[in-house]
Amino acid sequence: MSEAALRPAPCALRGDESRAGDRGFQDARRWEGVRLGRGSGLTCAAPGPRRLPGDPAGPGPPGRPVPRAPNAGEKFPGGGRLGLAGSGPGSGCGRSSAGPGAPPGRAGGNAPRPPPPPSLPPAAAAAALPRRGAALKGGTPPPGALAARAPRSLPLPCLRARRRGPPRRRPRRRRPAAADAAAAAASPAAADAAPGAAGGPGPRPPAPCPWRWLLLLALPAACSAPPPRPVYTNHWAVQVRGGPAEADRVAAAHGYLNLGQIGNLEDYYHFYHSKTFKRSTWSSRGPHTFLRMDPQVKWLQQQEVKRRVKRQVRSDPQALYFNDPIWSNMWYMHCGDKNSRCRSEMNVQAAWKKGYTGKNVVVTILDDGIERNHPDLAPNYDSYASYDVNGNDYDPSPRYDASNENKHGTRCAGEVAASANNSYCIVGIAYNAKIGGIRMLDGDVTDVVEAKSLGIRPNYIDIYSASWGPDDDGKTVDGPGRLAKQAFEYGIKKGRQGLGSIFVWASGNGGREGDHCSCDGYTNSIYTISVSSTTENGYKPWYLEECASTLATTYSSGAFYERKIVTTDLRQRCTDGHTGTSVSAPMVAGIIALALEANNQLTWRDVQHLLVKTSRPAHLKANDWKVNGAGYKVSHLYGFGLVDAEALVMEAKKWTAVPMQHMCVATTDKRPRSIPVVQTLRTTALTTACADHSDQRVGYLEHVVARITISHPRRGDLQIHLISPSGTKSQLLAKRLLDHSNEGFTNWEFMTVHCWGEKAEGEWTLEIQDMPSQVRNPEKQGKLKEWSLILYGTAEHPYTTFSSHQSRSRMLELSAPVLESPKSALSLPQTEVPEDEEDYTALSTHGSPSILQTSMCHPECGDKGCDGPKADQCLNCVHFSLGNVKTSRKCVSVCPLGYFGDTAARRCRRCYKGCETCSGRSPTQCLSCRRGFYHHQEMNTCVTFCPAGFYADESQKNCLKCHPSCKKCVDEPERCIVCKEGFSLARGSCIPDCEPGTYFDSELIKCGECHHTCQTCVGPSREECIHCAANFHFQDWKCVPACGEGFYPEEMPGLPHKVCRRCDESCLSCEGSSRKCSRCKVGFTLLGNTCITNHTCSNADETFCEMVKSNRLCERKLFIQFCCRTCLLAG
């Protein structure tokens, strides 16, 4: 498409609406008060054809014409035209009247009304069209109603709609909190963001709170804004019995257009109604009520716009340009190098060396599209794994704009399958895999859009990677809708020919806002693999959320001074600025692709088991690492640890499928209980894990779900924990300081993987704590209304067979004593016991091998078998042996504190004194320290106090390096108390000393140029000046060369420039003072230096007026009004 086709059409806006432009309802919460037909003053005349982002750009599904949504500029039946800001993305500001020659189906054209459905007879078709001049149903105003109310307005250029339109799933980009606060304070549109700012009748804003109420700690409801209303579209999801033909008939009978089946969901169809508003804060009525009453319609739902954001942290937007490969910049692939700061490998290169590069595996990125002609993506691009859900065509290319906003999907795709050895950009983790893209975030995201995206070609696509979700703002609780949940279930049951589609999800970037990813229904699902991030030094990134559903982690970005991820970028470029948990999901998707090449028969649950078994805590630093009842080390930050590609492919190559999944609803407690304030409510459930039902019995756990309903005056004050029978404590919810909602939770499912491998039977404990904040009335208590415990797992141990037990990766054998047979048995023939029949063979008490007893070895025993069922009776170990021959050696999966795992000898060896965990025996190989010591990050030693240039992290007992700009710091690297030369201390941070005419850019971390009219400033625009440059005056927050009409310059003490003051309200212009007018407004007459009201000039009293004149009071407006004639004679 040419640039001219994307150029905005001119339009006219009135009043405050001109500030909004045509932003496609960029934030529906700002427009929740707008009602069509109530005083909207926006009209638009688009001069020619123009393609909308929502219009079809290619062939639609075979056998069905591509439907067209109502275009901007179309007439309503009866001749009316709609003029409302935000009538569609890129629509050129709403409906307009172009010439009759404009082609139909194009934005800005005067397209004819769509004909009735073809299935109606001619008579019925004529009756189906509204009569001329009649009001439309479903809340549409009568024709011309808007034009009648629209006052005369000035033409202004119309802003083309940005992709961040109405509330929708937008990219998760985050700036540091300081930058966000500064941008919010400096934004001139901040005051226009309130509901009803465009002239609509939206809800009345809350009255400001009196200071007395604040002192009395009044309820937050008295001062909080009303909850935003949902935004409804003109699309419906409808469940119709009888097949596609019956769905077409039902749609036509009620004036709808059937856009086809929703993904692979049988009997669910996507209906579109052209006579309904494209967006409205009110759900539609009228003919839709009759559709609900149709006997063939089992269920229907008008689609709401949802917010989904890409999980990317905003960082330096500058792209890099390379002619040669930047393989060496991929630091996360080179952690084994001598000077690398990341000490633990993800072992991707080791997996490549074994021949696994992702061949014959298909990965698709669910995002804002991918640049399919990018030189690093084109060799592996798969058109059959791609689709444009937003545009309803087969080209997933992103929409280009000046800000390159739709770069997210292309960056994620490069991580997975960027081509190797092509002298361009990077090398993808699965560089021989096929890569596709589903463009679904660049428009309104509804339940239908998500369900369609999750269900595209599930028997062809192996892995779906998604790095987006609900807002990570610390107050949102949202998840997949009814259709998206069914799409997940269909994928894991029918996808990949029954093996199950693999869904990889980014865990979220709301760490700074105190968010908790258990409030995200996508990462909190048993069907998704939730992936978190760690920095190159193994620390928690500032954006990371913690929750019990996280399965594993990868490297990603950290603080602004730490390295980020290099990948492909828009416009065939490369970038070194990819950030956030958006990085981690495609990384894991690529590593899983390597495993699927090693074993393409892995089920979706096999992949989760493999990640649990092969991920390693490595050097990841967290104070909540614990060992669960099955021996797995797990954390709320990192799940089971850093992914290990080599271990994953080696394990996958020999893997035997785990037994069938069972689901057991262990308990449902519907007894209401009050939640005491500043105390803990404990409720227990004793369960047999459905032992009486063979098809439901859960012996060994995988996922555990607590479905909870709670009413509470402030949801963010709640903390919830679940304790398993083995004593493993999972944090299901942490306090969220920004969550002021009083909605509580309704059947919300909290999921944990921390009990993986444990036995399910026993007593489970649910703990709920209410810790009131200062802005809440602590006397109001919450209530636990009901909760259910749902257990997922297997009836038998998933690794009981010898063959599957043997399939552990990198199992170096331990030297073990040979089991000698008694002399009486030496003459017997040596018969080999089949591996798939017995796990170990133990001699009977009589010592005769002719009498054999078979039983299960301990899970940590290797392939040589064992002498008994305990861990200290193994002949060799799968992971490590602890102890020695004198102290009885036993097999363990993880070495205990004070020891490190020697992989070459498969032994647990003791660390140096003072070290709690270590990577070797040397004093410089400590990873963490015992009580009373601090871990020195630079030297990897344990010290009793931190040296200069470092600060003591009391939570993790580490000596951490201060920021390079800090001479001394406390508690945090950037919390400086003394700065180095060339820096100044500001709010606990050291910022560069910027020269006059520049300002400090907290996002780019450098000094930027002020506007040429500014001497000092806080930003680059002319509205962000602090002091004006020479020969400029300060007026209306801007520096101008001369004061405008109605203003006069005035010197201000302490300022290097003059300030423009407003003249008297009667003056058109003035000089030196507000009352010394030089010209008057209409209706006033200049008398001396004063403007007086026009009327018959007369005197009140001659004697009095002579006194006024003699005392030189004629210049005062009050006296002029009474002594007009005398004062005029005075000149």
**Is 173 a member of any domain?**
no
Of 371-375, 458-462, 914-918, 964-968, the poorest mean pLDDT is in 964-968
**What confidence score (pLDDT) does residue 721 get?**
96
Task: Give Cα separations from 839 to 836, 865, 1019 (angstroms).
Answer: 8, 7, 71
Q: Is the pLDDT of residue 751 over 70?
A: yes
Instruction: Check whether residue 381 and residue 266 sit in a common domain.
Output: no
| CA 536 – CA 937 distance, rounded (Å) | 13
* Per-residue pLDDT reduced to its tens digit, 53-90: 444 444 444 444 444 444 444 443 434 443 333 334 34
**What confidence score (pLDDT) does residue 1018 get?**
82
Instruction: Check whether residue 426 and residue 563 sit in a common domain.
Output: yes
Can you spell out the DSSP letters for 752-773? E-TTTTSB--EEEEEEEEE---
Instruction: Check whether residue 636 and residue 673 sit in a common domain.
Output: no
* Average pLDDT of the residues in 707-718: 94
Q: Are 878 and 647 in contact (CB under 8 A)?
A: no
Of 435-449, 457-471, 908-922, 943-957, the poorest mean pLDDT is in 943-957
* Average pLDDT of the residues in 202-227: 47
**What confidence score (pLDDT) does residue 227 get?**
65
Of 293-297, 405-409, 974-978, 985-989, the poorest mean pLDDT is in 985-989
**What confidence score (pLDDT) does residue 70 get?**
44
DSSP H or E stretch at residue 487: helix 482-494
**Is 266 a member of any domain?**
yes
CATH code, domain with 292: 3.30.70.850
**Is 984 a member of any domain?**
no
Q: Which of 1088, 1130, 987 is nearest to 181 (CA)?
A: 987
Helices (H), 369-481: 408-417, 447-454
**Is 487 a member of any domain?**
yes
Q: Are 455 and 262 in contact (CB under 8 A)?
A: yes
811: how many CB neighbours lie within 10 A of its CB?
16
Name every residue whose Cβ is closer than 8 Å to that of residue 761 and which is 6 or more positions away in sequence: 687, 688, 689, 691, 699, 725
CATH code, domain with 695: 2.60.120.260
Q: Is the pLDDT of residue 811 over 80?
A: no
> Who wins on pLDDT, 782 or 124?
782
Which of 765, 794, 823 terminates a domain? The answer is 794
Can you spell out the DSSP letters for 334-384? -TTSTT-S--S---HHHHHHTT-S-TT-EEEEEES---TT-TTTGGGB-GG
State the amino acid at position 903 in one-letter form. T
State the amino acid at position 994 in one-letter form. C
Maximum distance among all Cα pairs of the chain, rounded to whole angstroms: 149
| CA 1012 – CA 998 distance, rounded (Å) | 10
Q: Is the pLDDT of residue 110 over 50?
A: no
Instruction: Check whether residue 391 and residue 279 sit in a common domain.
Output: no
> Which domain does 1115 fall in, by range?
1096-1130
* Per-residue pLDDT reduced to its tens digit, 763-799: 999 999 998 877 777 778 899 999 999 999 999 999 8
Q: Is the pLDDT of residue 14 over 60?
A: no
Can you spell out the DSSP letters for 865-930? -BSSSSGGGBSSBSSEEES-STT--EEESS--TTEEEETTTTEEEEPPTTEEEESSSSTT-EEEE-
Which of 794, 828, 850 terminates a domain? The answer is 794
Q: Which of 146-160, 208-222, 829-843, 1065-1079 tops mean pLDDT?
A: 1065-1079
> Who wins on pLDDT, 93 or 1057?
1057
Which residues share a beta bridge with 866?
874
DSSP H or E stretch at residue 126: helix 122-128
Of 237-241, 284-288, 607-611, 909-913, the poorest mean pLDDT is in 284-288
**What confidence score (pLDDT) does residue 107 get?**
38
Instruction: Check whether residue 428 and residue 467 sit in a common domain.
Output: yes
3-state secondary structure of 539: coil
Of 419, 582, 635, 730, the catalytic one is: 582
* Average pLDDT of the residues in 612-630: 91
| CA 453 – CA 607 distance, rounded (Å) | 22
Q: Is the pLDDT of residue 1035 over 90?
A: no
Task: Give Cα separations from 344 to 226, 341, 910, 927 (angstroms).
Answer: 49, 9, 20, 12
3-state secondary structure of 293: helix
Q: Which of 172, 202, 199, 263 is nearest to 15 (CA)?
A: 199
Average pLDDT, the chain: 75
Structure tokens at 81: 């035209």
Instruction: Check whether residue 649 and residue 788 sit in a common domain.
Output: no
**What confidence score (pLDDT) does residue 1128 get?**
64
Q: Catalytic annotation on 367?
A: yes
Helices 408-417 and 584-598: crossing angle, nearest 10°? Answer: 30
Name every residue whose Cβ is closer than 8 Å to that of residue 170 and which is 6 or more positions away in sequence: 163, 164, 307, 308, 309, 310, 441, 468
Instruction: Check whether residue 517 and residue 587 sit in a common domain.
Output: yes
CA dihedral 795, 796, 797, 801 (to 10 degrees): -150
| CA 445 – CA 205 distance, rounded (Å) | 28
* Per-residue pLDDT reduced to its tens digit, 384-437: 999 999 988 999 999 988 888 889 999 999 999 999 988 888 999 999 999 999
Q: Which of 437, 452, 449, 362 is nearest to 406 (CA)?
A: 437
Q: Is the pLDDT of residue 1059 over 60?
A: yes
Q: Phi and psi (nearest 5°) for 885?
A: -65, -35
Q: Catalytic annotation on 846?
A: no
CA angle (279, 283, 285) in 5-degree steps:
120
Q: Which of 1026, 1039, 965 is nearest to 997 (CA)?
A: 1026
**What confidence score (pLDDT) does residue 844 get?**
32
| CA 139 – CA 283 distance, rounded (Å) | 10
Structure tokens at 638: 């990192």
839-877: b (≥16 Cβ within 10 Å) or e: bbebbeeeeebeeeeeebbbbbbbbbbbbeeebebbbbb
**Is 379 a member of any domain?**
yes
**Is 603 a member of any domain?**
yes
| CA 962 – CA 461 distance, rounded (Å) | 47
**221 falls in which pLDDT band (50, 70, 90)?**
very low
Q: Are 80 and 143 in contact (CB under 8 A)?
A: yes
> Who wins on pLDDT, 339 or 233?
233
> Who wins on pLDDT, 312 or 395?
395
Q: Are 133 and 409 in contact (CB under 8 A)?
A: no
| CA 976 – CA 542 distance, rounded (Å) | 18
> Who wins on pLDDT, 860 or 48?
860
Of 235, 288, 374, 408, the catalytic one is: 408
**What confidence score (pLDDT) does residue 402 get?**
84
Q: Is the pLDDT of residue 294 over 60?
A: yes
Q: Are 980 and 994 in contact (CB under 8 A)?
A: no
Which residues share a beta bridge with 852?
843
Reading phi first (left if > 0) and then psi (alpha if -120 to 50, else beta), residue 367 is in beta
3-state secondary structure of 393: strand
Q: Is the pLDDT of residue 109 over 50?
A: no
**What confidence score (pLDDT) does residue 717 get?**
92
Q: Is the pLDDT of residue 35 over 80?
A: no
Instruction: Check whether residue 379 and residue 478 sit in a common domain.
Output: yes
**What confidence score (pLDDT) does residue 963 get?**
83
| CA 451 – CA 465 distance, rounded (Å) | 15
| CA 460 – CA 713 distance, rounded (Å) | 48
CATH code, domain with 1055: 2.10.220.10
3-state secondary structure of 493: helix
Name every residue whose Cβ is closer than 8 Å to that of residue 211 and which is 6 or more positions away in sequence: none
**985 falls in which pLDDT band (50, 70, 90)?**
confident
Reading phi first (left if > 0) and then psi (alpha if -120 to 50, else beta), residue 80 is in beta
Of 476-485, 515-524, 1015-1024, 1101-1110, the poorest mean pLDDT is in 1101-1110
Q: Could you tell me what percent of the chain has a pLDDT over 70?
A: 71
**What confidence score (pLDDT) does residue 128 get?**
44
**What confidence score (pLDDT) does residue 842 get?**
32
Q: Phi and psi (nearest 5°) for 175?
A: -100, 165
CATH code, domain with 578: 3.40.50.200
**What confidence score (pLDDT) does residue 855 get?**
61
Instruction: Check whether residue 586 and residue 490 sit in a common domain.
Output: yes
Q: Could you tell me what percent of the chain has a pLDDT over 90?
A: 34
Q: Which of 475, 790, 514, 488 is nearest to 661 (CA)?
A: 790
**Is 922 a member of any domain?**
no
Instruction: Check whether residue 693 and residue 621 sit in a common domain.
Output: no
Q: Is the pLDDT of residue 550 over 90?
A: yes
Which of 653, 679, 708 terminates a domain? The answer is 653
Q: Which of 103-107, 139-143, 784-788, 1062-1066 tops mean pLDDT?
A: 784-788
> Who wins on pLDDT, 814 or 642?
642
Q: Is 118 exposed, middle or buried (0-12, 13-18, 19+ CB in 10 A)?
A: exposed
Q: Which of 143, 149, 123 is nearest to 77 (CA)?
A: 143
Structural domains of the chain, count:
5
State the amino acid at position 402 in one-letter form. A
Which residues share a beta bridge with 842?
853
| CA 809 – CA 650 distance, rounded (Å) | 5
**What confidence score (pLDDT) does residue 286 get?**
65
**What confidence score (pLDDT) does residue 1034 get?**
87
**What confidence score (pLDDT) does residue 389 get?**
93
Q: Is the pLDDT of residue 175 over 60?
A: no
Instruction: Check whether residue 383 and residue 495 sit in a common domain.
Output: yes
**What confidence score (pLDDT) does residue 928 get?**
83
* Per-residue pLDDT reduced to its tens digit, 578-612: 888 899 999 999 999 999 999 999 999 999 999 99
Radius of gyration of the chain (CA): 35
| CA 822 – CA 844 distance, rounded (Å) | 12
**What confidence score (pLDDT) does residue 1095 get?**
62
Q: Phi and psi (nearest 5°) for 1006?
A: -160, 170
Q: Are 270 and 403 in contact (CB under 8 A)?
A: no
Q: Are 306 and 166 in contact (CB under 8 A)?
A: no
Of 367, 472, 839, 953, the catalytic one is: 367
**647 falls in which pLDDT band (50, 70, 90)?**
very high
Instruction: Check whether residue 414 and residue 444 sit in a common domain.
Output: yes
**What confidence score (pLDDT) does residue 287 get?**
63
Q: Are 150 and 7 in contact (CB under 8 A)?
A: no
State the amino acid at position 293 in one-letter form. M
**Is 624 a member of any domain?**
yes
Q: Is the pLDDT of residue 838 over 50?
A: no
| CA 33 – CA 196 distance, rounded (Å) | 5
